[in-house]
Amino acid sequence: MSSNGHLTAEKLRSQLSHPIVDADGHWLEFGPIIRDQLRKIGGDRAADGFGHFGSQVMKTLSSSVAERRYQRIGQEAFWALPTKNTRDRATATMPRLLYERMSELGLDFTILYPTAGLGLPRLADTETRQVTCRAFNTFSADFFRPFADRMTPAAVIPMHTPEEAIAELDYVTKQLGLKVVMLGSMIRRPIPAHVDKHPDMVNETAWFDTLGLDSEYDYDPVWAKCVELGLSPTFHSGGRGYGLRSSPTNFTYNHIGHFGVAGEAVCKALFLGGVTRRFPRLKFGFLEGGVGWACQLYADLIGHWDRRNLAALEEVNPRNMDHAEFLKFAEQYGPPEMIDALRNRKEPQDATSLPERANLVGGIDNVDDYAVCQIKQKSDLRDLFVDSFYFGCEADDPTNAWGFSRRNNPFNARINALFGSDIGHFDVPNMADVVPEAYELVEDGLITDGDFRDFVFANAVRFWGVANPNFFKGTVVEKEAAAVLASKD
């Protein structure tokens, strides 16, 4: 029995009629080996690049609370990996052991994301970033290749410019044979006004490029390359340490919601930037933040369109104000001071000669925030969102059920939830409990068995398999995945 009193993962899996695909597991890089291997592949720069984020974390954890308050630096993650459960720690580090335990864990196939490697696409130095990502991907491909029928690693893709992203996408697919890509996001960019006034502060202030709306670059060539190569891009960036998540003393304060807020920023930018309209075949995955924020964003995008589409904006267009009628109301209901002020206004009262301040729109040419989405009817918003976006959910998150609750989502939509085990990290003290925890949604009556099948299997097949029909070829779930892709459901 698992620690929560339910069936073991292996027993539960044996009672299901479908496989379980883990869309977001994690492997733990063993530092001495990987640094040595990266040095052999990419030289000292690659080894140093890999160690950069670890050294930054150590630097923060070595500082005092007073120092972090002074610099307003957030408390970093500490004790973030399994230790008491030594077997699980070893499982996350050694692919052969994970392969041996897959049935015990109730998993048929897993997509594995790195841990320290998550930060590699955000390395600031261009050459270091590119060399390190290339070496890391080369190592990952070789490290997991013997176990390809049950697991596959994610390549890390730098996104500071479209050119470097395209170069690495081509390399990892055509040279290494990798089929999962994790794109860097929340790219730090210097703020021009700050650079001009305080060039020495260029590394201290930044804005975050979300790759869609208002991006520094046109990333359409990257999305086109993903379509060409049969890739479904995923994002695994966080928002810890930024903005309102920078407590110098409390890691939990910084951690709660940080994947969701980073995912929302990119998802919203891709949507309002028209990417889903221009690339309707492309599917994007946002990992580890859950589906609750996605349901809210979906509803908010529709709600804002109701009030901010071109026709609706006429309700608040200053040119439509009848000033003469307003004066009549004031003369009947307003205080004397208001009447005098209105009667003595020097500005013309006709709608064609409004005060300049009433016409201000921030210099934009088109006041329709949804213009590039080409919305013809409200249901277009559902189609552009639901068909394009998938959201990684951890097993113990009760809000996972929201994604499947048609009656609680506009247009009776189901928001695509992907089951992610998150094995290897502190929030999974026992790997064998993950699948039973995910199934609690069925036991508690929050989702159906059909929903559970989509959650842990069919959604993952659609996410990766629609773009690349051969994604699951040669894996232990090949036959079942092919049946999902052939189905019209």
134 and 35 within one domain: yes
Instruction: Please check whether residue 475 is in contact with residue 20, taking contact to mean a CB–CB distance below 8 angstroms.
Output: no
pLDDT at 21: 98
Say how many C-beta atoms besides its own lie within 10 A of residue 72's C-beta.
10
232 and 97 within one domain: yes
pLDDT at 351 over 60: no
Percent of the chain exceeding pLDDT 90 equals: 82
439 and 318 within one domain: no
pLDDT at 55: 84
Q: Which two tokens stand for residue 421?
A: 């085990």
- Segment among 94-98, 102-106, 223-227, 241-245 with least mean pLDDT: 241-245
Give mean pLDDT, residues 338-364: 72
Q: Which two tokens stand for residue 13?
A: 């899996």
326 and 267 within one domain: no
Read off the pLDDT band of 354 (50, 70, 90).
Answer: low
Comparing C-alpha atoms, which of 58, 36, 64, 149 is closest to residue 98?
149
Read off the pLDDT band of 1 (50, 70, 90).
Answer: very low
112 and 17 within one domain: yes
pLDDT at 2: 42
Residue 421, in any domain of the structure: yes
pLDDT at 383: 96
What's the pLDDT tens digit per position in 366-375? Answer: 999 999 999 9
Residue 125, in any domain of the structure: yes
pLDDT at 173 over 90: yes
Domain count, the chain: 2
Q: CA Rg, the chain, in Å?
A: 26
Instruction: Please check whether residue 269 is in contact with residue 213, taking contact to mean a CB–CB distance below 8 angstroms.
Output: yes
Residue 370, in any domain of the structure: no
282 and 159 within one domain: yes
pLDDT at 5: 59
pLDDT at 192 over 60: yes
pLDDT at 160 over 80: yes
Say how many C-beta atoms besides its own lie within 10 A of residue 227's C-beta.
14
Give mean pLDDT, residues 381-406: 96
Read off the pLDDT band of 202 (50, 70, 90).
Answer: confident
Read off the pLDDT band of 195 (50, 70, 90).
Answer: confident
Give mean pLDDT, residues 10-28: 97
Residues whose CB falls within 8 Å of the CB of residue 352, separated by 6 or more in sequence, listed in order? 319
d(CA 119, CA 364): 35
DSSP reduced 3-state for 110: strand
285 and 210 within one domain: yes
Q: Which residues of 420-434 are buried (b: 16+ CB within 10 A; e: fewer)?
A: bbbbbbeebebbbbb
Instruction: Please check whether residue 182 is in contact with residue 234, taking contact to mean a CB–CB distance below 8 angstroms.
Output: yes
Read off the pLDDT band of 348 (50, 70, 90).
Answer: low
What's the pLDDT tens digit per position in 203-244? Answer: 778 899 999 999 999 999 999 999 999 999 999 999 888 888
Give mean pLDDT, residues 428-451: 96
Q: Which residues pair with 207 in a beta bridge?
A: 189
Read off the pLDDT band of 362 (50, 70, 90).
Answer: confident
The dihedral region occupied by 421, where left means phi > 0, alpha psi between -120 and 50, and beta the remainder, is alpha
168 and 44 within one domain: yes
Tokens 């996410």: give the residue: 463
- Structural domain for 328, as ranges: 312-359
Comparing C-alpha atoms, which of 239, 290, 282 is closest to residue 420?
290
Residue 66, in any domain of the structure: yes
pLDDT at 404 over 80: yes
What's the pLDDT tens digit per position in 296-310? Answer: 999 999 999 999 999
Percent of the chain exceeding pLDDT 70 equals: 96
Comparing C-alpha atoms, which of 137, 287, 166 is closest to residue 227?
166
Residues whose CB falls within 8 Å of the CB of residue 424, separated by 6 or more in sequence, listed in order? 25, 26, 27, 28, 81, 82, 92, 115
Give mean pLDDT, residues 138-158: 98
Instruction: Please check whether residue 265 is in contact with residue 293, taking contact to mean a CB–CB distance below 8 angstroms.
Output: no
Q: Which DSSP helix (H) or strand (E) runs through 243?
A: none
pLDDT at 356: 58
Give mean pLDDT, residues 264-286: 97
d(CA 449, CA 405): 14
443 and 348 within one domain: no
303 and 317 within one domain: no
Q: Which DSSP helix (H) or strand (E) runs through 4?
A: none
Residue 2, in any domain of the structure: no
Comparing C-alpha atoms, which of 211, 186, 177 is closest to residue 282?
211
Read off the pLDDT band of 198 (50, 70, 90).
Answer: confident
CATH code for position 84: 3.20.20.140
Q: What angle do CA 248, 253, 254 make, to 5 degrees?
A: 70
pLDDT at 3: 45
Q: Which two tokens stand for residue 403?
A: 């994604």
Q: What is the mean pLDDT of the chain?
A: 93
Comparing C-alpha atoms, which of 32, 77, 36, 39 is closest to residue 58?
77
429 and 336 within one domain: no
Give mean pLDDT, residues 271-281: 97
State pTM to two decimals.
0.94
What's the pLDDT tens digit per position in 447-463? Answer: 999 999 999 999 999 99
pLDDT at 194: 85
Residue 110, in any domain of the structure: yes
Read off the pLDDT band of 346 (50, 70, 90).
Answer: low
Residues whose CB falls within 8 Å of the CB of residue 113, separated by 6 or more in sequence, listed in order? 24, 25, 26, 27, 153, 154, 182, 236, 287
Comparing C-alpha atoms, which of 290, 176, 158, 304 is closest to residue 233?
158
Q: Which two tokens stand for residue 396?
A: 């113990």
Residue 198, in any domain of the structure: yes
330 and 457 within one domain: no
Q: Which DSSP helix (H) or strand (E) runs through 392?
A: strand 389-394
